[in-house]
Every structure is written in C-alpha cells, then in structure tokens.
Amino acid sequence: MKKIMTMGLALLLMSSSWKAQAKDYRISSAKELDALHLKAGDRVLMAEGEWKDQQLKFKGNGTKGRPIVLMAANPGKTILNGNSTLDIDGSWLLVEGLAFANGRLDSGEVINFSEKSFSCRLTNTTVTDYNGANDQVDYTWVSLRGSHNRVDHCLLKGKNHQGVTLVVWLSDKPNYHQIDHNYFGPRPELGRNGGETIRIGTSTWSFYDSFTVVEQNIFDHCDGEIEAVSVKSCKNTIRNNLFYECKATLTLRHGNHSEVYGNYFIGNGKPGTGGVRIIGEDHLVRDNYFQDLTGTGNSAAISVMAGLPNPILVSHWQVKNARITDNLILNCKEPFAIAAGYRTDRYLPALNTYFGKNIIVGNTEPLKWYDEKVVVNFEGNQILSASFSGQQGRGFELKNEQLKKTESGVFLRPGQADFKPFWESEQIGPSWISNLNKKIIIN
C-alpha cells in the first residue's frame, strides 16, 4: 500500500512539475515569436492593436493534452493587415482569436498549415476582405496541408479575387482534415473559374483518398463560381451544412466514393441557386434538403452529369453507381437533371444510377432528361402536389399532401418530429461575433 501511495505521489508531483514548466509569453511582433523556443503547454498571447506586414511563423510540438497555443490576448482585437501571414508548422498547435482584415498578398496563402503539420487547429479566427486592387492576383486565404488538422468556428468572407478561399492539398497519404462550424460569408461572382469557397484536392491528385469531413458550416451567398464546394479527391464526407442563397453548387467534380448527406440548400428564389452536382463513381447523396432553387442543368437541385470518353484527369468522368435517396426537394425549378452538360463530345451516360425514396414537392416536372437514352432505376419516390398532371409511374407516386413548416422555416418530412436546424442550435463562426445566424431567413 505504501509503495502504491508513493508512486501516486510521484506521478502527481511530475504532473505538477510539467504544469509549472509551461509558460505564458506576451508578444507584439512576429520577430518576438521567432525568438521563442516553445514547449508543450506554452501559450503565446498577442497584444491588441494593428499588426501590419507581420509574417508569423508558429512552430513547435505540443501534445494532445498540452497543445502549444498562439492566441489574441483579447479575441478579435489583434488585427493583422498589410501583407501579414501565418504559417502553422508542427504538431498539436492551436491558433485562436486572430483577425486578418483588409490586407493583401501577391501570392501564396494568408494562413498555411505546413506539410509537416499534424493535429493542429485554427479556431475563432476571421479573414475578411483580404483583397488587392487586382482581382486577377491568385492567392488562397487558408491552405490545409499535413494531416488531422482542423479549421473550426472561423469567419471567412468578402474574397473577390482569383483563388480558392480554403484549399485542402493532397499527398500520397490521406489527410483526415476537419472543417466545421465555420461561417463562409458572401463571395461575389468572379466571372471565371477559380472562385470556389472550398476545394478538397486537385484534378491531378483526384484519385487519392482524402477523408476530409466538412460539416455544420454555413455558406452564405458564396457566388464566386458554379462550385461553392469542389470535391477533387476520394472518400470525403460533406454533411449537415447550409448553403444559403448560393449561386453555386456542391460539386463532386473529381474522385470517387464521397458521401453528401444532411445538407440544406435554400435558394429563396434567387436566380441560379443550385444543389448537388455528381461526377465520378460510387457517390452517395442522401437525406439532403433542397428548397426554392432556381438553377437548371448543371445547377439543378440534383444534377447527374454526362461523361467524356477517354477522359484525362481534368475531364468530366462518367457517373457510375450513384445512389440518390431520401432527399426532400421543395419547389425547385429542376429537381433532378439527368445527363446534364450533354453534348456531342460529352455523351457517356450515367451507369447504374439509383434514385429512390425521394420526396419532391411542387407542380413542375420532377425529371429533366438531357439525354433520354440514360437508364435510371427509380423506386419508391413521391410527388406531393395538388395540381401536378405529369406522368406518374416509373417509381413515382403522386400524393395530395402538405408538409408541416417549422418556426425556422424548414419543412418536415411526413412523420418527422419538430426540430431546430443546426444553425439555430450550434455556435457557428467565432464566439466573439454574435448573431451571424440571424441573417438566415427562409421565405
């Protein structure tokens, strides 16, 4: 017994010693950060005020229970501008409470997770209007390299120049990144390719696995280009996000085996608003909610693309084995577009597509065939309408039934219990910015 008590006391003293070794450092420049030799448990507190043209290099190796922290002494009050950047290089590093605003770069990225970064986290941070005078200049706001990193509870809005807002870069090993509870604010139309809000991978790496999870984010008026979220890799999960009045789509552009479920696409009748676009093999699109979208073809509520023969990595690959189930589609101009993008050189039909147990509400034709030779397996779908007079059968049943509307403006499926959507029950964006979800109004 005495020996056990002695060992316990020794462990307690060791734990206390480790805690005592952790230090707090207060800094007011990137040069002061460079001079530090940080250890697990240390915290670096950045002074309030303007930090102009500061290239922050945050390095070190923490542990799961004792990360190294770089944080604003007062969240949101450390303002980085000019050509300020942040490089996160190490393991178990935590960045919190910074505000990048009204700066600009000539290239590169505002915030970068290095290739060696592991289990690092960026949270409660903003990047707003970090734009130069020339919208042709291409740079990224957040680049995710390394593995098992997380970006959460951040606000990124106002990007109006060339380049993706947040990019996941691939390597020959899966990265397992997590992107959650962020508020991606308005991004105006760029007028050309390269205006995505999130891109997971690149065309040249599109057949490598990523295992990135994107969940419980709000995409608010992300209109940069047709792809608000562009998936260019394999085995990703995009779930429980809100796409609010985005003149864009969630596009499975390259790669295979991704899941898209539990997302909300709210158009409120805004021109060009879209849903999910499917390209590639073995994708699952289920339990999503589409309401008042006006997009057609590539921007329909659910769009299955025609494929190119003999495709190269940048091509539109043939759709195979897509399963589209249990989605609720309300008052959308084009609920399901089949062989969208069909033309004389892009004609490969989707193979083995299953469209089952979906509910379509409205008085318009549920299907738009851009190539009527495509074979789709329809099963157990319902059309809820008081006046629809189109063709029934082929896996569709017409019902005269109305859905219940919640206080949030979301309609419930038949038999579904009332609930609050995630943006009304979860903290989205930085904790020091209030009422972001008040912008979400469903007509």
Digit-coded pLDDT (tens) for 96-122: 999 999 999 999 999 999 999 999 999
Report CA-CA distances (Å) from 74 to 21, 77, 216, 225, 287. Answer: 24, 6, 26, 36, 41
Task: Tell whether the torsion through CA atoms of 139, 429, 274 and 232 is positive or negative.
Answer: positive
In angstroms, the CA 87 to CA 90 distance is 10
Residue 280 and residue 315 in contact, taking contact as beta carbons nearer than 8 Å: no
pLDDT of 20 above 70: no
pLDDT of 7 above 80: no
pLDDT of 12 above 80: no
Task: Calculate the average pLDDT of the chain.
Answer: 94
In a domain, 309, yes or no: yes
pLDDT of 401 above 70: yes
Contacts of 333 (CB under 8 A, 6+ apart): 293, 294, 295, 296, 300, 364
In a domain, 17, yes or no: no
Task: Tell whether the torsion through CA atoms of 380, 385, 387 and 390 is positive or negative.
Answer: negative
| Closest to 209 (Cα-Cα) out of 191, 229, 231, 189 | 231
pLDDT recorded at residue 385? 84
Helix, strand, or coil (residue 425): helix
In angstroms, the CA 222 to CA 198 distance is 10
pLDDT of 8 above 80: no
In a domain, 171, yes or no: yes
- E strands, 158-300, in order: 166-168, 178-180, 183-184, 198-201, 213-215, 218-220, 227-232, 237-239, 242-244, 249-254, 259-261, 264-266, 276-278, 284-286, 289-291
DSSP state of 373: T
pLDDT recorded at residue 5? 45
Residue 88 and residue 111 in contact, taking contact as beta carbons nearer than 8 Å: yes
In a domain, 3, yes or no: no
Quick one: tokens of 326?
């249990």
Residue with tokens 């091509």: 315
pLDDT of 376 above 60: yes
In angstroms, the CA 1 to CA 4 distance is 5
pLDDT recorded at residue 303? 98
Taking residues 248-265, what's their average pLDDT? 98
Q: Which domain CATH number covers 144?
A: 2.160.20.10
CB-CB neighbours of 202 under 10 Å: 18
pLDDT recorded at residue 19? 52
In a domain, 13, yes or no: no
pLDDT of 3 above 90: no
pLDDT recorded at residue 102? 97
In a domain, 98, yes or no: yes
Amino acid at 109: E
* Residue 442 pLDDT class (50, 70, 90 cuts): very high
Backbone angles phi, psi at 346, to 5 degrees: -125, 90
Quick one: tokens of 287?
């339990």
CB-CB neighbours of 81 under 10 Å: 18
Helix, strand, or coil (residue 79): strand
Domain hosting 374: range is 22-438
Query: Mind listing the pLDDT tens digit for each residue in 347-371?
Result: 999 999 999 999 999 988 999 999 9
In a domain, 12, yes or no: no
Amino acid at 411: F
pLDDT recorded at residue 392? 59
Contacts of 321 (CB under 8 A, 6+ apart): 281, 282, 283, 351, 352, 353
Residue 395 and residue 377 in contact, taking contact as beta carbons nearer than 8 Å: yes
Report CA-CA distances (Å) from 215 to 153, 181, 425. Answer: 11, 7, 14
* Residue 11 pLDDT class (50, 70, 90 cuts): very low
pLDDT recorded at residue 437? 83
Total number of domains in the chain:
1
In angstroms, the CA 172 to CA 380 distance is 41
Element (H, E) at 12: helix 2-21
Report CA-CA distances (Å) from 390 to 204, 340, 354, 365, 401. Answer: 44, 21, 21, 6, 17
pLDDT of 14 above 70: no
Residue with tokens 């919208």: 135
In angstroms, the CA 229 to CA 214 distance is 10
Pairing of strands 78-81, 259-261: unpaired
In a domain, 4, yes or no: no
Query: Mind listing the pLDDT tens digit for each residue in 197-254?
Result: 999 999 999 999 999 999 999 999 999 999 999 999 999 999 999 999 999 999 999 9
* Residue 21 pLDDT class (50, 70, 90 cuts): confident
Helix, strand, or coil (residue 344): coil
| Closest to 142 (Cα-Cα) out of 170, 162, 171, 163 | 163
pLDDT recorded at residue 435? 86
In angstroms, the CA 222 to CA 185 distance is 7
Q: Tell me the whole-structure pTM to 2 decimals.
A: 0.94
Percent of the chain with pLDDT over 90: 88
In angstroms, the CA 258 to CA 261 distance is 10
Amino acid at 359: I
Tell me the residue length of the chain. 443
274: left (phi over 0), alpha (psi -120 to 50) or beta: beta
pLDDT recorded at residue 1? 45
CB-CB neighbours of 158 under 10 Å: 18
pLDDT recorded at residue 389? 60
Backbone angles phi, psi at 235, to 5 degrees: 60, 55
Backbone angles phi, psi at 436, to 5 degrees: -60, -40
pLDDT of 15 above 60: no
Taking residues 57-68, what's their average pLDDT? 98
